[in-house]
Amino acid sequence: MKTVTLIRGEHKGEEIMVVNFDFDKTIEDHLIGFPNLKRNSSSGKFYLKNTAKNLGLLFHHLRKIRCYVDYSELSQKQVETPVKRKRLFLPPIDSFHKKDLIRFRRWLEEKRLSPHTVNTYVEVTHFFVRYSILKKSKNYSRDLVESFNYDFIVCEGKSVSYQNQCINGIKKYFLFKGMDIGALDLIRPKKEKKLPVVLSKAEVRSLMDVTHNVKHRTLLSLVYSGGLRIGEAIQLKVDDIDSKRMLIHIRGGKGKKDRYTLLSQSFLETLRQYYRQYQPKVYLFEGQNSATYSTSSAQWVLRNAVLRAGIRKEVSLHTLRHSFATHLLENGTDIRYIQELLGHSSPKTTMIYTHVTENSIKNISNPFDDL
């Protein structure tokens, strides 16, 4: 049996699979004309986009001429990704469940959960209830949750984080309904342990330099210089800035905890310029049609700055917070102080920054240098 090996490659920034085999006229003739298959003009190798669908089609195509297809060198993640099925359409919710979800929202608000968490839990529960209507199920069983998880989350290619949010929301809904969630044994999947993306100080400076709007530059500078979450930044009030003690008072942060963080002397000059120009009354950053600036507007500001600065990393507003913590650690700040500034409950959360600091990596001697 002839062997064809599929090797992972890249062409013009796109992941491809290269079809590798010892020259054989039968295989070559059989491959010519295969949909979307291209050929490198210099090497003569066949290749196509690396997707689960293409892999399946090519596999069956080569099996027609009794070829053994070795795809072990392809990305395991790509091989295991299921082919996306036909989109799942959920029926509209009925009046009974609509009223039930309104009561569920009020119940969550009474628990004093954050508005963002309440909206997320109600949204995912709304999808789950519509799914139960689709399945004509009157009982909220573990099987129904697992079926919803597979059809609505796994097959739709949604993230592990979103899957956890769905399970958390459904658990809260079951508690609201007075159901024994312990008996259902709903388990959340483990998150991938990814290191945070961190910008260098030069990259942070370039973001500020290309942001000419005073309000936008002040917002980005605040998030970085104080290590704030974006929700904390847009909820900040004018009175929370303590320029005498050079501190910023964060009220009701994550976990409903108050804390203080640093007020940079350099940032204070930018802040005063912003205040003179915009004259905010209550909240430091006020929206055009709302009391506070919106998160989506803040995200747009950052995206625009990243494009202008030519930064190719996957940057979010939280990246500025990660960068603040990492730069403090690189400057020799005790990790316990960083934990307090960030508002982390556990030092384990803060310890992740020890894995991305430039100093700790630079101090390691590379064995290649000793050859």
Active site residue 353: yes
Q: How far apart are CA 130 and CA 98, in angstroms?
A: 10
Contacts of 133 (CB under 8 A, 6+ apart): 90, 91, 93, 94, 97
Q: Around Cβ 64, how many Cβ atoms within 10 Å?
A: 8
List residues bridging with 259 in a β-sheet.
250
Active site residue 322: no
Active site residue 276: no
From 171, 216, 322, 344, the catalytic residue: 344
Query: Residue 161 is inside which H or E element, if any?
Result: helix 160-176
Active site residue 344: yes
From 172, 216, 229, 327, the catalytic residue: 229
Q: How far apart are CA 64 and CA 60, in angstroms?
A: 7
Q: How far apart are CA 237 and CA 243, in angstroms?
A: 13
For residue 336, CA distances in Å to 230, 320, 349 come to 22, 20, 11
Give Rg (Cα) of the chain: 27
Active site residue 321: yes
Per DSSP, the three-state class of 193 is coil
From 126, 217, 321, 327, the catalytic residue: 321
Query: DSSP letters of 241-261?
Result: EETTTTEEEE-S-TTS--EEE
Closest CA to 74 of 94, 90, 58: 58
Active site residue 162: no
From 158, 254, 259, 308, the catalytic residue: 254
From 30, 61, 105, 318, the catalytic residue: 318
Closest CA to 207 of 336, 74, 98, 307: 307
Residues tagged active-site:
229, 254, 318, 321, 344, 353
